[in-house]
Amino acid sequence: MKNNNFFYQQYDKINWEKQEKTKINLFVNNFIIKEYLLKKKDSSISVFDIGFGIGFFFKLLYKSLGKRYKRIILEGCEPSSKNYHYYVKKPLRVRKTAIIKTFPETFLDTKTSTKFDFITCIYVFPHFVSNEIKKTAAKIHSMLSERGKFILVVANEKYLEEKLRAKKDLFIENNIIGLGGRKYKEILHYSDIPKIGKLIDYNREEAFYLHLFRSNGFELLEKKDLNDSGFICTVFVFEKK
């Protein structure tokens, strides 16, 4: 098993900033904005993005939310110093009725007193090691407002299993994680991202995520598989009960 810091420190050695050119995750980012965030009926909105990378999603988000909501609060954390500093060189500038606050820290180390309508976690949860998962779910719950929503995006479990069967050199190890008396499969593996680099993360059973968030005070509102040019991800939308 890797230690907690390994998963964000690996971003200091790859080229995640190439996201600006390759537009990786643009499809799922736009989907989340259109299908969930812009559907909030109110004149204000608050969003926390866990592991915001170089701020690619933040910038798209502000462009769309800026036209629709009067008051906007965007907050997020990013512990990779390379990614964080890349964002800080060209940060998002917002109007007076909007607030943006960023933290150069891991999610568990981030301290904010804001309550959010949405918390997004786009391809970040597979970087959390098993001993920080329950604390992470409880913290997400405590940071959401009444009926606030948590949007989780991970690579589709079955799609990744198939890929690891076909490309055996991407496999690292199999683990078992226990939750409430049940056992779930976890696979540590490489992801080779064109023009960006090779990363390590965990693939966990879908049933694990459902169990984890149900047992931490969430209800599943929607689960959707999306095909982004052949790469399949799963989007879960959980609501705070």
Ligand X SMILES: C[S@@+](CC[C@H](N)C(=O)[O-])C[C@H]1O[C@@H](n2cnc3c(N)ncnc32)[C@H](O)[C@@H]1O
Q: Which residues bind ligand X (CB under 6 A)?
A: 7-8, 11, 19, 25, 50-53, 56-57, 77-80, 83, 106-107, 122-124, 127-128
Q: Which residue lies nearer to ligand X by CB, 61 or 77?
A: 77
Q: In angstroms, what is the minimal distance from the CB of 131 to ligand X?
A: 12
Q: In angstroms, what is the minimal distance from the CB of 154 to ligand X?
A: 10
Tokens of 128: 């959390």
Residue where the block lists tokens 């969003």:
47
- Taking the C-alpha atoms of residue 53 and residue 16, their distance in angstroms, rounded to an integer, is 7
- Taking the C-alpha atoms of residue 112 and residue 9, their distance in angstroms, rounded to an integer, is 23
Q: Which residue lies nearer to ligand X by CB, 46 or 120?
A: 120
Q: In angstroms, what is the minimal distance from the CB of 191 to ligand X?
A: 8
C-alpha distances out from residue 173 to 8, 169, 210, 220, Å: 19, 11, 23, 30
Q: In angstroms, what is the minimal distance from the CB of 9 to ligand X?
A: 8
Report the half-sphere exposure of 40 (CA within 13 A, side-chain side).
23
| Eight-class DSSP state of 11 | G
Q: Which residue lies nearer to ligand X by CB, 71 or 228?
A: 228
Q: Identify whether the C-beta of residue 98 lies closer than 8 Å to the C-beta of residue 70.
A: no
Q: Which residue lies nearer to ligand X by CB, 73 or 196?
A: 196
